[in-house]
Amino acid sequence: MPGDERSCATLFRRLLEMNATELVHGAYGIEEDSVILSDTLELENLDFNEFQATVDSFQMALASHLEAIAPFRTC
């Protein structure tokens, strides 16, 4: 996470925009000082195709969003 408030606000806005327009499965979130991708699936009815769709969506998100998120990396 960026150290200054302005950079944090810019990052948060970009993550929210990507959540609303570019992610099919899951969403970006903040856990402690890390940006994470998460999804909620019902374990009781989960089949392999649903799981695979989530994994594929995460891979696409990471590949296409890395350039937008990388400048905010602090370490």
pLDDT at position 36? 92
In percent, the amount of the chain with pLDDT more than 70 equals: 99
pTM for the structure as a whole? 0.78
pLDDT score recorded for residue 75 = 60
Query: Is 90 exceeded by the pLDDT of residue 57?
Result: no
Ranges of each domain in the chain: 5-72
Q: What tokens were used for 10?
A: 């810019």
> In the prediction, which pLDDT does 1 show?
79
Cα–Cα dist 6/30, whole Å: 16
Entry field: residues in the chain: 75
Query: Distances from the Cα of 17 to the Cαs of 11, 47, 74, in angstroms?
Result: 10, 29, 21
